[in-house]
C-alpha cells in the first residue's frame, strides 16, 4: 500500500484534506525515514490516528466489522501456510514462492490488527482452527493436506479463490471510508495474485487442467473434487454484468473467465469458515 497515493486519492473527494492533515502529513513522511521495518509497523497506527484527528471520529462499527471479518479469514490463511511450512509438505522447488505467500498472509494479519486498533476498534482474537475442514473433528476432507502436497495445493486454491471473492463482496460496505476501502483493495489484489499463481502451480505439475482463472462454477472452476468447496464457486457461471446479459458476445467460458463474482459474508461463513473455524 502506498500511503501517499491514498492521500492523493482522498484529495479528489475532500479537497480540504491537506489543511486537515498538515502538519500530520509531514509527520507521516518523517516516519518513513526511520527505515522500512519501522515504517511498515508504524503506518497503520499513524494512518488511523491521523484520520481520526483529521475527521474527529473513529471508523464506524460497520467498517470495524468488515475489517474483523477480513482478519478472521487472514488468520485462517496464515495458519494454513505456517503449518504447511513447518510440516515439510512443501518441496524445496516451491518453497521460494509459498514462503512469500505465507509472509504475505502473516503481514495481512498484522496490518489488519494494527489498523483496527488505530481506528478505535477491537480486533477479534485468533479463533480455534480445524485445518482439516472438519468442523472441529479434525477429520475433514483436508486432513491429509500436510503430508499430501497435491491436497495441500488444492486447499490453498480454495482458500485463495474464496479470499478474493470475500474481499470483493465486502467492498460496497467500505464505500463510505475511502482510506479503508483502498487498503482492503490492496490486499484483495495480492490475494488474487496468490490464487492465480497457485492455480498455475497446480496446472504446471499436472494436478489439474484448470487455468489461472475461473471459467465457471464446476466446469472449470472447482476441480478440487472436494464437495465441501463447491459452494465457494457458486455463481461463477454468471454471464450478466451490470445488468447486461453478455451471452452471444463470446463463448461462455470466455465470458465467465472475464469476471469474478463476489461472495457475501454469510456465504463465506457458511461455506468455508464454518468448516475450518470452530470458535
Instruction: Kindly list the domain boundaries of the chain, sorted by start residue.
Output: 1-57, 58-276
Task: For 41, list phi and psi in degrees, rounded to 5.
Answer: -70, -35
Of the listed ranges 27-31, 193-197, 209-213, the least confidently predicted one is 27-31
| 58 has pLDDT over 70 | no
Q: Spell out the residues 6+ positions from residue 135 whose beta carbon is closer than 8 angstroms to its own.
A: 274, 275, 278
Q: What pLDDT is recorded for position 50? A: 52
201 vs 208, residue with greater confidence = 201
Q: How far apart are CA 236 and CA 28, in angstroms?
A: 42
Q: Which three cell numbers stand for residue 200?
A: 498455475
| 221 has pLDDT over 60 | no
Do residues 106 and 154 make contact, with C-beta atoms less than 8 angstroms apart?
Answer: no
Q: Give me the CATH code for the 58-276 domain, please.
A: 1.20.1260.10
Q: What is the mean pLDDT of residues 216-227?
A: 58
Instruction: Evaluate if pTM is beyond 0.85.
Output: no
| 13 has pLDDT over 80 | no
Q: How far apart are CA 81 and CA 150, in angstroms?
A: 14
Q: What pLDDT is recorded for position 72? A: 93
Q: What pLDDT is recorded for position 63? A: 85
Q: Residue 91: which pLDDT band, with cuts at 50, 70 and 90? A: very high
Give Cα 81 to chain centroid, integer Å. 14
**Residue ranges in the chain assigned as alpha helix (H):** 3-13, 17-21, 24-31, 36-55, 61-87, 95-118, 149-170, 178-204, 252-257, 265-268, 274-276
Q: How far apart are CA 199 and CA 157, in angstroms?
A: 6
Q: What pLDDT is recorded for position 54? A: 44
Q: What pLDDT is recorded for position 59? A: 65
Q: What pLDDT is recorded for position 47? A: 54
| 240 has pLDDT over 60 | yes
Q: What pLDDT is recorded for position 115? A: 87
| 255 has pLDDT over 90 | no
Considering the chain, what is the average pLDDT of its residues? 77
- Cα–Cα distances (Å) from 182 to 4, 30, 42, 67, in that order, read 12, 22, 18, 12
Element (H, E) at 241: strand 240-241
3-class DSSP state for residue 267?
Answer: helix
Q: What pLDDT is recorded for position 222? A: 57
| 7 has pLDDT over 70 | no
Amino acid at each position: 500500500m502506498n500511503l501517499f497515493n491514498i492521500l492523493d486519492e482522498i484529495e479528489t473527494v475532500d479537497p480540504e484534506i491537506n489543511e486537515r492533515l498538515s502538519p500530520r502529513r509531514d509527520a507521516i513522511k518523517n516516519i518513513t525515514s526511520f527505515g522500512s521495518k519501522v515504517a511498515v509497523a508504524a503506518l497503520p497506527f499513524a494512518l488511523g490516528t491521523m484520520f481520526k484527528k483529521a475527521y474527529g471520529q473513529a471508523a464506524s462499527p460497520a467498517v470495524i466489522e468488515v475489517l474483523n471479518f477480513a482478519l478472521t479469514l487472514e488468520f485462517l490463511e496464515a495458519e494454513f501456510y505456517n503449518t504447511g511450512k513447518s510440516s515439510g509438505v512443501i518441496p524445496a522447488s516451491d518453497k521460494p514462492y509459498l514462503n512469500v505467500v505465507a509472509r504475505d498472509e502473516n503481514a495481512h494479519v498484522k496490518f489488519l490488527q494494527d489498523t483496527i486498533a488505530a481506528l478505535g476498534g477491537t480486533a477479534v482474537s485468533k479463533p480455534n482452527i480445524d485445518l482439516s475442514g472438519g468442523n472441529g473433528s479434525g477429520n475433514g476432507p483436508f486432513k491429509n493436506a500436510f503430508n499430501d502436497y497435491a491436497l495441500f495445493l488444492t486447499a490453498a486454491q480454495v482458500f485463495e479463490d474464496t479470499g478474493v471473492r470475500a474481499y470483493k463482496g465486502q467492498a460496497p460496505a467500505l464505500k463510505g471510508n475511502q482510506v479503508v476501502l483502498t487498503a482492503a483493495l490492496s490486499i484483495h489484489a495480492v490475494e488474487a495474485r496468490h490464487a492465480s499463481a497457485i492455480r498455475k502451480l497446480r496446472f504446471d505439475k499436472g494436478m489439474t487442467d484448470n487455468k489461472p482463472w475461473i471459467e465457471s462454477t464446476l466446469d472449470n472452476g472447482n476441480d478440487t473434487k472436494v464437495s465441501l468447496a463447491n459452494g465457494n464457486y457458486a455463481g461463477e457461471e454468471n454471464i450478466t454484468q451490470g445488468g447486461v446479459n453478455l451471452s452471444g458476445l463470446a463463448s461462455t467460458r470466455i465470458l465467465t473467465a472475464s469476471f469474478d463474482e463476489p461472495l457475501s459474508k454469510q456465504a463465506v461463513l457458511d461455506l468455508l469458515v464454518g468448516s475450518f473455524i470452530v470458535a
